[in-house]
Amino acid sequence: MPSNNGFVKAGAQEIGEIFRRFQEHNPSPATELKAPNYFTLLVSVVLSAQATDKSVNKATEALYKIADTPEKILELGEDGLISYIKTIGLYRSKAKHVMGLCRMLIDEYGGQLPRKREDLERLPGVGRKTANVVLNVVYGEPTMPVDTHLLRISPRIGLSAGTTPLQVERDLLECIPAEFMNHAHHWLILHGRYVCTARNPKCTECIIGDLCKHNGLE
């Protein structure tokens, strides 16, 4: 049924079918960020803010060959880190964040990634979305990191009428069946990146095209 603002919500059976198809099409989705361990995954997610995964992977390929722990990053120093990541947008502030989170990980967490959300969000450069990525990918928790793709396509598909990351996150956690939660955000990110694109979405190639509500899309 359409809401007051014209948004049409997908039904529970439709949502289940959407994610069943995603699972059938791609049983084991994963982040496209290339990282040799969980620490470097955290660094890459911090670096990926307002940047593409491809640009981050290109910059970190050489970096992670010589510095893949908090201790090694600190040994490089801020200027040394910048020499590797200067092709990434906002690299100066991101370098400060990475150096700060490395120091905090060593001083307060024994060099390991903390398990609790509040501890992750204390780390410099780590907000709710990044914490959700760590909780989901590293610790297998059913969290929902909402990036620009999820914020854009969730209303379009009929999963959420939310206009903020937190609203969309809460709606998705509520409506997506538990059996799909571990991979749900990866399926949605990949769908938004390659099929349900901002410009010229590939509706004729879409595996959920008959279920999508096309909210705001002609």
- Asked, for residue 56, whether it belongs to a domain, the answer is yes
CA 218/CA 200 separation, integer angstroms: 11
Q: Which of 114, 137, 160 is the last residue of a domain?
A: 137
Tell me the average pLDDT across 38-57: 96
- Asked, for residue 5, whether it belongs to a domain, the answer is no
- Looking at the fold, whether 123 and 175 belong to one and the same domain comes out as no
Q: What is the pLDDT of residue 216?
A: 75
Contact 169, 185 (CB under 8 A): no
- Looking at the fold, whether 130 and 43 belong to one and the same domain comes out as yes
- Looking at the fold, whether 51 and 106 belong to one and the same domain comes out as yes
- Looking at the fold, whether 100 and 179 belong to one and the same domain comes out as no
- Looking at the fold, whether 62 and 113 belong to one and the same domain comes out as yes
Q: What is the pLDDT of residue 217?
A: 64
Q: Which of 137, 154, 186 is the last residue of a domain?
A: 137
- Looking at the fold, whether 113 and 152 belong to one and the same domain comes out as no
Contact 10, 159 (CB under 8 A): yes
Q: What is the pTM of this model?
A: 0.90
Q: What CATH number is associated with residue 47?
A: 1.10.340.30
In this model, does residue 1 exceed pLDDT 50?
no
- Looking at the fold, whether 57 and 129 belong to one and the same domain comes out as yes
CA 142/CA 154 separation, integer angstroms: 17
Q: Which residues belong to the active site?
A: 129, 147
- Looking at the fold, whether 79 and 164 belong to one and the same domain comes out as no
- Looking at the fold, whether 155 and 106 belong to one and the same domain comes out as no
Q: What is the pLDDT of residue 2?
A: 46
CA 192/CA 148 separation, integer angstroms: 9
Overall domain count for the chain: 2
- Asked, for residue 1, whether it belongs to a domain, the answer is no
In this model, does residue 29 exceed pLDDT 80?
yes
Backbone phi and psi for residue 205, each to the nearest 5 degrees, phi listed first? -100, 0
Element (H, E) at 72: helix 70-85
Least confident stretch, 2-6, 55-59, 152-156, 167-171: 2-6
Q: Which of 116, 137, 158 is the last residue of a domain?
A: 137
Tell me the average pLDDT across 96-114: 97
- Looking at the fold, whether 53 and 123 belong to one and the same domain comes out as yes
CA 182/CA 213 separation, integer angstroms: 24
Q: What's the mean per-residue pLDDT of the chain?
A: 94
In this model, does residue 4 exceed pLDDT 50?
no
Residue span of the structural domain in which 167 resides? 12-30+143-205
